[in-house]
Chains A and B, each alone.
Chain A
Amino acid sequence: MKVLIIVPAFNEEGNIKSVIKSIREVSLDIDIIVINDCSTDNTEAVAKSLNVDVISLPLNLGIGGAVQTGFQYAYNNNYDIAIQIDGDGQHNPKYIKELIGPLSKGDADVVNGSRFIDKKGFQSKFFRRLGIRFFQLLINILVRCNITDSTSGFRAYNTKAIELLKDRYPIDFPEPEAIIILKKRKFRIIEVPVEMENRAAGISSISTFKSIYYMVKVTISIIVEFLRSNNG
């Protein structure tokens, strides 16, 4: 099985090295592609010095556009599985095997890493958790699917899912909306417990200031995506 780890990175020169190292500690038999989202720091040079393949976007697209580029790369190079691991060190690569498991057995098309099943590791702030609860409820009502951690980007996708998402993936705050895109087309999504870390260095892309905008935008996106026709 050809497995690709997609590492979206925007100004992560301080984190990218340890992320790559910990992925390689898990397995040397998986390919890594860093999607450098037009960083203004040395992310690209640091990644290249570690001998990883880097795709550098000529302009900043945001997390959705970056991850989608990874899907396109995975599709063009016939990977069986693509896993997103953020460049900020939030996602602990030791769970890669758990994410791959259901895909290789054919039990699911997408496996979502959730920090709220075993409630271990960094649990996020109260209001963020409240927001995630709200999305859980909304997604459950719309597509009848219980996703405890819809904002998690720590996911594994099979070929079928890669093929869909390479053409259709939201540009900003993509994770909750992607659940709807997949679920509406009857993709099987299951969750496995993972631990997440609070980011080690740098600043998170979602500040408190943006969080209200985030909630409103994602809620509208989820509803609109639900109403959208599958081919449109």
Chain B
Amino acid sequence: MDKIQIVLIVVSVLFILFVLRLTKKNKLREGYSLIWFFLGFIVLFFSVFRGLIDPLAAFAGIKVAPFIIIPFLIFVTFLLGMHFSIIISKLSEENKKLIQEVALLKNRIEKFEIGSNSKE
């Protein structure tokens, strides 16, 4: 086993444990942790079964096997970016509804207060 392989195994295991810890401490929601677990396990899988990279690269038509990491990383980065855009869109829509509801309620409360003050 090469040094780099050992380093990668250790790093990916640490990464998975880190994601697990964040999820346990409620700093990362289960739904959003899935994509990070997935990423961690893929790296771990290919660091353990290093031999599988060569046929995969050959299948993708990449001559120098390690370079398969580049399209993979680009793909994952795109996916993550999309994932966050979707979440942010959803959040801002929910946020808008909350802001509107708060403003409408504030307006109603002010009117009730004026009403009860004038009765006193």
The interface residues of chain A, by DSSP majority, are classed as: mixed
CB–CB B103/A55 < 8 A: yes
| Distance from B46 Cβ to chain A, minimum over Cβ atoms (Å) | 39
Q: How far is the CA of A72 from the CA of B104 in the complex (A)?
A: 8
CB–CB A73/B106 < 8 A: no
Which listed segment binds B: A57-65, A102-110, A220-228?
A: A57-65
| Residues from chain A with Cβ under 8 Å of B96 in the complex | 61, 65, 171
Tell me if B117 is interfacial: C-beta within 8 Å of chain A: no
Q: How far is the CA of A53 from the CA of B95 in the complex (A)?
A: 24
Interface string of B66-100 (1 = CB under 8 A from A): 00000000000000000000000000000110011
CB–CB A57/B107 < 8 A: no
| Distance from A27 Cβ to chain B, minimum over Cβ atoms (Å) | 22
**Number of residue pairs A-B, CB distance < 8 angstroms:** 35
The interface residues of chain B, by DSSP majority, are classed as: helix
Q: How far is the CA of A72 from the CA of B102 in the complex (A)?
A: 12
Partner of B99, one of A53, A58, A73, A76: A58
In this complex, how many residues of chain B approach chain A with their Cβ under 8 Å: the count is 9
Q: How far is the CA of A54 from the CA of B102 in the complex (A)?
A: 13
Q: How far is the CA of A76 from the CA of B103 in the complex (A)?
A: 13
| Residues from chain B with Cβ under 8 Å of A68 in the complex | 100
Tell me if A39 is interfacial: C-beta within 8 Å of chain B: no
| Distance from B117 Cβ to chain A, minimum over Cβ atoms (Å) | 15
| Residues from chain B with Cβ under 8 Å of A59 in the complex | 95, 99
| Residues from chain A with Cβ under 8 Å of B95 in the complex | 59
| Residues from chain B with Cβ under 8 Å of A72 in the complex | 100, 104
Contacts A55-B103, A57-B100, A73-B104 known; list 12 others, CB within 8 Å: A35-B103, A55-B106, A56-B107, A57-B103, A58-B102, A59-B95, A61-B96, A68-B100, A69-B100, A72-B100, A73-B107, A171-B96
